[in-house]
A and B are shown apart, each in its own frame.
Chain A
Amino acid sequence: MIFRNIRFKLTLWYIVILGIILTSFSTFLYLTLSRSLYNGIDVKIKSIAEVIASSSTNPYSQYSFSSLDRMLKDSFSLRPVTKFIQVLDESGRIGKKSDNLQNFQLPISIRALKNASQGSITFETTKAFGKYPLRMVTVPVIQGRRVINIVQVATSLEEVEEALKTLLLILWITVPSALGFASLGGLFLANKALKPVDEITKTARMITSSSLNQRIKLKKTKDEIGRLAETFNDMISRLGRSFKQIRQFSADASHELRTPLTILKGEIEVGLRRRRRPEEYRKILDSNLEEVNHMTQIVDDLLFLSKADMGEIHLKKNRINLTGLISEVGTQVKVIAMAKNIRVHISNDSGVAVIGDRLRLRELLLNLVDNGVKYTPEGGEMRISVERDDGRVKLCVLDNGIGIAPEDQPHIFDRFFRVDKARSREAGGSGLGLSICKWIVEAHGGEISVESGVGKGSIFTVTLPLAPPDEGTG
C-alpha cells in the first residue's frame, strides 16, 4: 500500500541510490587507506632493513648494535623505537637483536629463509607476540654471491589496525545516519514537490458533470506542476464547453421532436373523441403522416450529425466533376422552383473538378438550393454559379428572398438555430440542414459563408480545394 505512494517510492529510490554511492565510496576509502598504510609500513621497514644490511657486511658475531643504533640515528635522525630488529646468520641462528625485543624473538619462516638463501626479500605478517600482528621483512645480506647474514625488521600493526578500525567505526555510524537524514530530507522534498499534485487530485475528485466550472487553484508557476494544472484546467474548460453543447443539443433535439409529437397526440386524441366522416379521418391521417415524415427527417439529420461528430461518417473521395453535378442538381431544383414560379439561373464554369464524396456534395448543393427556394417568395430569382478562384472552387447560391438579419447571420450554421421557427417548420425543415452543409464543406477542407441583407436576399458561398489536374478525362 505504502509503495503505491509516489513520495515513498521516490524517497526509496533516492535512498537506495545514495546508499550504493556511500557504500562504494566507503569501501573504496577503506581499501585505499588500508593499502596505503600497509604499503607505508612495508616501505619503512624495508628501508631500515636495507640500511642495516648495507652496514652489516661482517658476520653477525662482529656486529655491534651500538654502532647500529648510531647508524640508524644518522640515517633516520632518530632511533625508531617501535621497530624490532634482529640479525641472523645464514643458517637462521639468531645473532643480535634490538633491545626492545627483550626476551622475545622474531620468528623466521622456512619460506623467508629459503627466499633469503636465494637472495630475495620476504614480507610477512605474523602473530608472534602481543595483541597485534607484526609486519616483518626479511632481507639477506649478500657478499660475493654468498648470504652472510639475514636482517629482520618488524613493526607492530597496532597503529594501522587501530586507524582502520576507527575508520570503519566512523563509516558504520556516518553512512547510516547520512542515509537517515537524507531519507527525511528526500521525503520532505517529495512532499513539497507533490503537494500541488494532491491539490489537483482533490479538485479532480470534486469535479462532476454538474460542477465543471471548478478550477484548480495554484500559484502561477511555469514548472511542470504549473503546466499540469494549467493543462488540467484547460481540459475541464473544454469538457465544460462540450457538456454544455451536448446539453443544449439534446434540449433542442427534444424540443424539435416535441412539436410534431404534440401535434400527433393532439390530432389523434381530438379525432378519436367522436365518430367522424371518412374524409375527416383522411385529413387527420394526412396531417399525421406529414408530422411523421418531419420527425423522420429530424431523426435522420440528428443521426447524421451525431455520427459526424463521432467521426463515423467516411467520405468516399473521388474526382467529382462539379459542373456535371450542378447541372444534375439544377434540373431537379428547377422542378421544385417552378411550383413557386422562381427562375433559376445556372452559370457553370466548365470542367471544374474537386476531390470529394459525390453523395455528400450533392446533399450539400440540394440543401443550399432547397433553402433558397424556401425563403424566396413567389416570382423570385435564384442563381447558382461555380467558378475557379485562385486554385480553389467558388460555388455560390444566390437568391433574392427574405434575407437574414445581421444579428442572426453568425448563428445560421448552428444546430437547430432558426430565424423564423414557424416558417421553417412549415417549410418542412429540421433546423439542421445548414449545420449539415457546414459539416460536409469542412469535411472536404472547404469553407462556407453567408452574405445577406434583409429583404434583399442571401448569397451562400462555398469554397473547396480544386482537384489537381487530371491527365484522363478531366
Chain B
Amino acid sequence: MRILVVEDEKKVASFIKKGLEEENYAVDIAYDGEEGLVLAEINEYDLVLLDIMLPKLDGMEVLRRIRGNGSGVPILMLTAKDAVEDIVSGLDSGSDDYLTKPFSFAELLARVRALLRRKTKEKTDFLTIGDLILSTSTHRVKRGGKEIELTAKEYALLEYLMRNPNRILTRTLITEHVWDYHFDPSTNVIDVYVNYLRKKIDQGFEKKLIHTIRGSGYMIKDEP
C-alpha cells in the first residue's frame, strides 16, 4: 500500500515515513503543497496524509485540486489547528478523516487502516482469500491455520494482492502501490518477490491462490 505524506515540517514527515514503512507501507514525502499535488497527480496512491499549513500551496487547496481532478484517493488531513471551521471545511472539501497534532502514532495507523479498508468493503482488519488470512493490524498471515513468516516486502505485496482479489494486477500497478518512488522499474524485482510469496503461500497446498496472467501480470483468487 503506497502512501503520500505531504508535510513541510521535515522531522514530522520523517517520523511518519519511518513509522509507516515499518508497517510495510511504501511512503513518498512532499515538503510543500505544489510538490504534493504533482506527486498525487503522477502516481497512484492508496492514501494521502495531508498537512493543512503548507508553503507554496495551502493543504486545503491541494485537497480541492486533488478532488477536482476526479481522484477518490482517501485523504487524511493532519492539522496543527483544532479549529472546528478548518475541520469542517476540510471534510466538506472532500477529506475523509482528520487528525490534530500532536497525534498518537497508534491512532494514525488505525485511521490509515480504516481508510484503506473502505475500498475493500472489509469491516475488520482481516483480509481473507479462501483459507488464507491476513491481519492488517498485527501483520500476521495464516493459511489453513498455519502461521506463515513473511518479510516486510513480501507482506506488503501480499496485502496489496489481497486487497484487490480477482483483479489482474500489472507490474506497473504493483510497483506503484508496493514500492516508493526510489524503485527502479527496469529490474525484475516484482517477479522475484512474487516467486518468494508463491513458495511460502502456495507450496504444499493443492489449491494455488497466486496466478500468473501471461503478458499482463498477476492475480490472486480463490477459484481454480
Contact = CB atoms under 8 A, between A and B. Distances in A.
B54 to A, nearest CB: 9
A263 B18 contact: no
A334 interface: no
A262 B11 CA distance: 9
A420 interface: yes
Contacts of A267: 11, 15
B102 A266 contact: yes
Contact of B80 (A258, A270, A420): A258
A422 B104 contact: no
Interface residues of A, number: 21
B167 interface: no
A317 interface: no
A270 B102 contact: no
Interface in B3-35: 8-12, 15-16, 18-19, 22, 31
A421 B8 contact: yes
A36 interface: no
A422 B8 contact: yes
B42 interface: no
Interface in A274-319: 274, 287, 291
A425 B11 CA distance: 11
A274 B80 CA distance: 27
A310 B8 CA distance: 35
B140 to A, nearest CB: 15
A131 interface: no
Contacts of A270: 15, 18-19, 22, 105
A262 B22 contact: no
Given A255-B80, A258-B80, A273-B19, A422 B9 contact: yes
A253 to B, nearest CB: 12
A269 interface: yes
Interface string B83-125: 0000000000000000001111110000000000000000000
Interface in B149-182: none
A266 B105 contact: yes
15 contacts: A255-B80, A258-B101, A259-B12, A262-B9, A262-B80, A262-B103, A266-B15, A266-B102, A266-B103, A270-B18, A421-B8, A421-B55, A422-B10, A422-B31, A422-B55
Interface of B: 8-12, 15-16, 18-19, 22, 31, 53, 55, 80-81, 101-106
